[in-house]
Amino acid sequence: MTKTRVEKDSMGELNVPHDALYGAQTQRAINNFPVSGQRLPEPFIRALITVKKAAALANMKLEALDESRGKAIVSACDELLNSDDVMAHFPVDVFQTGSGTSSNMNANEVIATLASRYLKETVHPNETIHPNETIHPNDHVNYGQSSNDVIPTTIHVSAALELEKRLIPAVETLIAQIEEKAESVSQYCKTGRTHLMDAMPIRMDQSLLSWSAQLKQQVSTLSSHQPAIQSLAQGGTAVGTGINAHPDFAATFADTISELTELKFTPAENFFAVIGSQDTAVSLSGAVKSLAVTMMKISNDLRWMNSGPLAGLGEIALEALQPGSSIMPGKVNPVIPEAVAMASAQVIGNDGAITVGGQSGNFELNVMLPMIASNLLSSITLMTNSVSLIGEKAIKTFSVNKEALEEVLYRNPVLVTALNPVIGYAKAAEIAKVAYKENKPILEVAEAMTDIPKDELTALLDPKKLTSNR
């Protein structure tokens, strides 16, 4: 049997694993919520610990927390932040109380345990600590705070850090990779396609640069959400009034966490709004979903261009990364675009859940905070990893099949569109029908059905010239 110890909270005694850093309230949450086995993501937990550290530092500055306890709490937070096994101490299920109180108390209890050890080992190494000199999860670690402002604040801090330090840089790297690849393939001309049907020719670089333009717009959209996500609920406490917090706590906390994270955070203009709703998280999720839609488009374009190699388009060859079939020897599949497409689908699903969660702002508190936090960070992580993956293992490494491009390019009857201004739409359509029916190059049919000299037709129907209107 697992060795246990007895812990107490306001509801009574409870057995807790002997070596656990957490206490009774965390254990109650473990017992009460065996829902998914899924914990809040590590970026959220690390941000939560950072919030607790910033709160202790702010309360020390405001002389609301004595220096001895404050330093002990800061030391405990640092110990956790420097740990490679921090998640071992945070076992609470995502699907818990909607305010995230269980996760807030989990952090308070773990930090209080480590801070009390710090006091014992450094301040009073040779004597028994009086109960009044220990660290209490609620009275000290949670001083001037409520789960109702801590969890919304942590959602914003964790998302802001992941956005600034991981997702946006990853997308910008992918843009650079696409533009570098576009320059290297600009000499190739290919058949354009609308409705998956042959259309006017485009250059390969034009096709790729459309992706980079989409991604630049996504970066712009993501960046536009940064001021709102860097606005914090901390200081509003239980319902937004700031009860039990120092009047200057919100501003001091924002300055402190800005120093700790090297990212500028500010107090929210209205605490009631950011505690009672999750509009900012919903909006940011929508922006990440929009990026997922772009990534789905890029993935599917790559899959189509790579299709074949004999019975498909075969315009490019993606890097062969692994065998594609357990029964068909030699088969190689576009595994990276497929993985990215699935990740994009998941992000779209996450956004649906976050949207429903955002509707659960009842009066002074949203009560789907842990789910919103988990899905938002999951989406950011999925997109960060996906854009990095597709850049390194698909965009940078694919090769162009020039022969396949040119085989269909010059036989494309849609090239006759270039003759519209010379012979009119009706005559051009007639030429196209003959070319389709007889499977002949459009130049050959146009020469036979018009009196335009061949050299002039050759110039008019040059696919590369048709990729520009200049």
Q: Say what the pLDDT of residue 2 is.
A: 82
255: CB partners within 8 A, 6+ apart: 58
The residue from 36, 224, 325, 399 that is catalytic is 325
- Confidence band of 122 (pLDDT split at 50, 70, 90): confident
Question: Rounded to the nearest 5°, which phi and psi values hold at 351?
Answer: -65, -35
Mean predicted lDDT score pLDDT of the chain: 96
Using alpha carbons only, give the angle 459, 462, 468 rounded to the nearest 5 degrees: 105
- Confidence band of 131 (pLDDT split at 50, 70, 90): low
Residue 253, burial from CB neighbour count under 10 angstroms (0-12, 13-18, 19+): buried
Is 195 known to be catalytic?
A: yes
Q: What is the pTM of this model?
A: 0.95
- Confidence band of 127 (pLDDT split at 50, 70, 90): low
Percentage of the chain modeled with pLDDT above 90: 95
Nearest to 411, CA basis, from 201, 219, 223, 229: 201
The residue from 10, 195, 326, 468 that is catalytic is 195
Is 225 known to be catalytic?
A: no
Q: For residue 267, list its beta bridge partners.
A: 232
Q: pLDDT tens digit string along 43-79?
A: 999 999 999 999 999 999 999 999 999 999 999 999 9
Token digits of residue 188: 């190739």
Q: Say what the pLDDT of residue 126 is.
A: 63
Q: Buried b / exposed e across 147-171, counting CB within 10 Å, b at 16+?
A: bbbbbbbbbbbbbbbbbbebbbebb
Q: pLDDT tens digit string along 91-104?
A: 999 999 999 999 99
Q: pLDDT tens digit string along 198-235?
A: 999 999 999 999 999 999 999 999 999 999 999 999 99
Distance from C-alpha of 208 to C-alpha of 432, rounded to nearest angstrom = 29
